[in-house]
A and B are shown apart, each in its own frame.
Chain A
Amino acid sequence: MHMLTNLMAQQTIWRLPEESRILFATLIVLGAFVLVLGLVPVLQTLPPRGRRAIIVTVTFLAGLFFAAEFFLPVDWTAVFPKDDPKRNFLTPAIQPAQNVLQIIGALALGLGTFGLVRLHLRNAVQRRPQWGYSIVLLVSFVVMAIFSVLNTLAEKGIVARDPLLQRGFSILFDYTLLQLDAAMFSLVAFYIFSAAYRAFRIRSVEASILMFTAMLVMIGVVPLGAYISPALPAIANWVLAYLNAPAQRAIEFGVGIGGLAMAIRLWLSLERGVT
């Protein structure tokens, strides 16, 4: 207890010697686990109305924090001359709040991975149709995870980076994963071609206008367009800047307003979709 009080008196754990820092961090993590594990059964025992009241309150307070941080003036130097004029008193809490969101995301990643592995283990054990793919996934998952973890530990100097690890990591990530990513991305080019073929087929007046405009823009933005006529790049730019950009901005305005309205509904718990 004395040590904890002593630690708290020093305001930040990062100034402490490493042993105390690790101990303090462990205590925080264990405390958080106990709090979460204790909260879950408490929430489960509450009636739905009580649970909803807690969720509504927490949602409102969390939203209020971000709204207040945005709307409160940042320059308080007239009142507090030593204050930083680029932030208000809530701004320093933004980063910790984002860290919490990242931690929740990391927990969810564990949940997602667990679901994926469970599904494919079942497929393999029960010999469901196409269970061979599940075996491939599980083997790839385990091998990738082992090499990735070892590589991270080697980067931190915890384990030695031997040639097998270096070569294995390179084969798996640089020569396999990245190449597979590139192969998938390159498929988009072929898909664009087939989709464009269907979209530009002349079936109606609108499709004809679309095709004619697309042809103008495509020819206008490549060197061939300027070679045919100097007017073509100018026409292409005009179409992009004066027809395409305003339409896109109008869509963006609509999306932004829609997102804001949705955020307000979620903040005030008026949204009944998935909440």
Chain B
Amino acid sequence: MSYQHAQDNWFSAILIGLIALAVLVNIWRARRGKELYIRRIPGLDAIDEAIGRSTELGRPVTMIPGMTDFGVVAVQALTIFKYITKQIARFATPMRLLSGNPTVFAVAQEAIYDAYNEAGRPDLYDADSIRFLSDRQFAFASGVAGLIQRERVAASFMFGEFFAESLIFAETGNMVGAIQIAGTVSFTQVPFFVAACDYTIIGEEFYATSAYLSREPVLLGSLVGQDIAKLLFALTTIGGVIAASIAGTDAPIIKLLGQPGGWDAFWSSVLKGGGQ
């Protein structure tokens, strides 16, 4: 089996290094006490409102990380769920965390237990409220839809990676009148969530969520680093467009930017004194 390596395109590897540097430098700045601004994200402001409504109605809150494999997306989703659980613990609102991935389920148990502990209410922790339903996509979807219908949930939080099952969750929640907040990195599912949920957190806002909720310097600094990286990408894109317009798509500089082996082609042409 062949794997991708930095040597396939050194330009991409350098970009990755620059992004990492931007993130780390800004984390360092934030840790030194630099004030960093973060814009308002309405969907996240609505989390407390949704929990409040669940508490008033005495109906459960569901948290769904989807079929997400254990990785950065799952960790981010569980970080958000941990924050939500801390809020829930203050009002003793019932909750259900429904997972379609066994590894995420195992970590979720620990994360939710920690959240209740940190909120000072370990007595409220119920291991049965964190459930692994199935790792089959539509068996998981039917399990979640059934639970939402049977328990008439008042608020539903969907954060993670979703596939075709996303609309089943969102529409079922809509049918029972739940306040729904969704955040996903799966851009193909964003239209479904926008259509069916009250608030949708799109793209990199998903990764900004933990910084927004916790205001931790490390996370805020990382967020500023991400913005700088996006600026870098925008400048690279503009530079690429200008270079391709002037020199054509076969020029070595364009191959360097966009094609595997482009770095070698670029340097060999430079060493030969320019030209192809």
Partner of A105, one of B103, B150, B187: B103
> Contact: A257 with B226, CB < 8 Å?
yes
Residues of A within 8 A of B88 (CB): none
Interface residues on A, range: 35 or more
Residues 211-262 of A at the B interface (beta carbon under 8 Å): 248, 250-255, 257-262
Residues of A within 8 A of B136 (CB): 177, 181
Rounded to whole Å, the gap between the CB of B212 and the closest CB of chain A is 13
B54 at interface by CB-CB < 8 Å? no
Stretch in contact with the other chain, from A8-16, A36-44, A49-57, A183-191: A183-191
Rounded to whole Å, the gap between the CB of B247 and the closest CB of chain A is 22
Chain B interface, >50% SS class: helix
Interface residues on B, range: 35 or more
Partner of A94, one of B3, B109, B114, B187: B3
Stretch in contact with the other chain, from B12-20, B32-40, B265-273: B12-20
Residues of B within 8 A of A86 (CB): 2
Q: In the complex, A271 Cα to B207 Cα: how many Å?
A: 12
> Contact: A184 with B230, CB < 8 Å?
no
> Contact: B102 with A185, CB < 8 Å?
no
> Contact: B79 with A258, CB < 8 Å?
no
Partner of B82, one of A109, A260, A273: A273
Residues of B within 8 A of A174 (CB): none
Q: In the complex, A161 Cα to B202 Cα: how many Å?
A: 51
Q: In the complex, A238 Cα to B99 Cα: how many Å?
A: 39
> Contact: A253 with B233, CB < 8 Å?
yes
Rounded to whole Å, the gap between the CB of B9 and the closest CB of chain A is 12
B256 at interface by CB-CB < 8 Å? no
B47 at interface by CB-CB < 8 Å? no
Q: In the complex, A184 Cα to B167 Cα: how many Å?
A: 11
> Contact: A273 with B76, CB < 8 Å?
yes
Stretch in contact with the other chain, from A27-35, A68-76, A146-154, A163-171: A68-76
> Contact: A264 with B23, CB < 8 Å?
yes
B6 at interface by CB-CB < 8 Å? yes
Of the A-B pairs whose beta carbons lie under 8 Å apart in the complex, a sample of 18, sorted by A's number, is A73-B6, A74-B7, A111-B106, A112-B135, A195-B167, A195-B170, A195-B195, A251-B202, A257-B226, A258-B185, A259-B207, A260-B19, A260-B229, A261-B207, A262-B222, A263-B72, A265-B222, A270-B218
Other A-B pairs beyond A184-B141, A195-B195, 4, CB < 8 Å: A111-B102, A188-B164, A253-B230, A257-B204
